[in-house]
């Protein structure tokens, strides 16, 4: 079984997204899966041109010659695919959105109507992987996830059962601000990582992630006050160091 996560953070290997993906994929490997993280920032992914050649002229084939053909193959060969993004302007990064737009060749052009009155394009392949989403925000609280949650609720309605896990990690910067520390926040991060590892194992062995694990993943890393104080101290230090 293959599990692949596409990391849409421009910070790539130094991202908080990576700090969340890593234990989850370790858990998947422990359960016997082949697991890989793809850093989209390191790949050559051009912008969709909107020419629709992949629908009319060369069905299923994009005109652009870059890494996307390889990445779409990897996507289709995977049983589970994770899409990871930090919250940018309340939504996903341009990097991840750009990557997702390039999946147009996998859709057929004709507009279909579903039973619930919504419209869709039939997929060009028989089997699509099941998906999971990993989102982290720089703010505390939950309101920064609302746009992505709305996006995902439409996706889930259109493809019931296709989404196996959603991770909404607020206070995302705590994942690196406290690295190497021996603090209560660091202990909660260790607990968070352990829950992610369990989620990876469960996904592979049971085909779902238990409610208990989802709840453990979403336990707070810090109080709003702790996080605000640490984040604001961090910026005071940075600005202080930058002064001559
Ligand atoms: C351009 C930009 C826009 C951002 N917009 C938001 C936002 O709307 N809400 C939020 O909570 N954090 C926002 N952030 C903060 C990131 O979500 C946060 O730093 C996150 O932990 C980065 O994760 P990463 O290391 O995986 O990239 C923004 C950061 C950048 C650079």
Residue 7 is classified by DSSP as E
Task: Kindly report, residue by residue over 186-232, the tens digit of the pLDDT.
Answer: 999 999 999 999 999 999 999 999 999 999 999 999 999 999 999 99
Question: For residues 82 and 3, is the Cβ–Cβ distance under 8 A?
Answer: yes
Q: Which CATH number fits domain 2-242: 1.10.760.10, 3.40.50.360, 3.30.930.10, 3.20.20.70?
A: 3.40.50.360
Domain extents for the chain? 2-242
Pocket-forming residues, ligand 1, beta carbon under 6 Å: 9, 11, 15-17, 86-90, 136-139, 144, 172-173
Could you give the angle at which helices 184-206 and 16-30 cross, rounded to 10 degrees? 40
Question: For residues 71 and 7, is the Cβ–Cβ distance under 8 A?
Answer: no
| For residue 181, pLDDT beyond 90 | no
Main-chain dihedrals φ then ψ at residue 15, nearest 5 degrees: -90, 155
CA of 87 to the centre of ligand 1 (A): 5
CA of 137 to the centre of ligand 1 (A): 6
What is the H or E stretch that residue 80 is in?
strand 80-86
| For residue 160, pLDDT beyond 90 | no
Task: Kindly report, residue by residue over 95-131, the tens digit of the pLDDT.
Answer: 999 999 999 999 999 999 988 888 999 999 999 999 9
In sequence order, what DSSP letters do the residues of 132-197 get, joined into one string? EEEEE-SSSSSGGGHHHHHHHHHHHHHSTT-EEEEEEESSTTHHHHTTT--SHHHHHHHHHHHHHH
């Amino acid at each position: 079984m293959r599990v692949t996560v596409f990391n849409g953070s421009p910070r790539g290997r130094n991202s908080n997204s990576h700090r969340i993906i890593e234990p989850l994929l370790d858990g998947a490997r422990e359960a016997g899966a082949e697991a890989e993280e793809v850093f989209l920032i390191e790949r050559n992914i051009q912008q969709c041109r909107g020419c629709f050649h992949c629908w009319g002229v060369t069905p299923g084939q994009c005109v652009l010659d870059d890494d996307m053909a390889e990445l779409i193959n990897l996507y289709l060969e995977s049983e589970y695919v994770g899409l990871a993004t930090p919250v940018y302007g309340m939504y996903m990064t341009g990097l991840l959105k750009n990557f997702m737009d390039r999946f147009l060749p996998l859709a057929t052009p004709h507009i279909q109507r579903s039973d619930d009155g919504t419209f869709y394009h039939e997929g060009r392949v028989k089997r699509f992987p099941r998906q999971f989403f990993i989102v982290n925000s720089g703010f505390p609280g939950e309101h920064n996830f609302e746009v992505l949650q709305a996006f995902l609720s439409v996706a889930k309605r259109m493809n019931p059962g296709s989404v196996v896990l959603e991770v909404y990690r607020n206070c995302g910067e705590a994942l690196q601000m406290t690295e190497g520390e021996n603090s209560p926040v660091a202990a909660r991060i260790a607990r968070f990582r352990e829950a992610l590892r369990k989620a990876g194992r469960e996904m592979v062995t049971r085909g779902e992630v238990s409610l208990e694990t989802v709840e453990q993943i979403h336990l707070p890393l810090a109080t709003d006050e702790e996080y605000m104080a640490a984040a604001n101290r961090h910026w005071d230090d940075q600005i202080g160091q930058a002064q001559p």
